[in-house]
Structure 1
Amino acid sequence: MKIAILFLIALFLSSCTALPLKEDSKKAFREEFTTINKRLAGKLWKGKYERNLSTLTSDDYLIQLRAELLGGEETLKLVLDEGNPRVALKGVNRDFYVCLRSVKADVYSCDQAIPYGVEIQSVSQQKSLSEALLEFVDSK
Structure 2
Amino acid sequence: MTFPPLHRARTPVALGTAFACTLLALVSCSNGGNGKGPTTTSAPPAATSAGPAAARILIENFAFSPANLHVRPGTKITVVNHDSASHTLTATGGKTFDTGNIAGDATATFTAPSAPGSYSYICTIHPNMKGTLTVG
Q: Structure 2-normalised TM-score?
A: 0.24
Which of the two has higher C-alpha Rg?
2
Which has the larger share of helix? 1
Give the TM-score, by structure 1 length: 0.24
Structure 1 or 2: more strand by fraction = 2
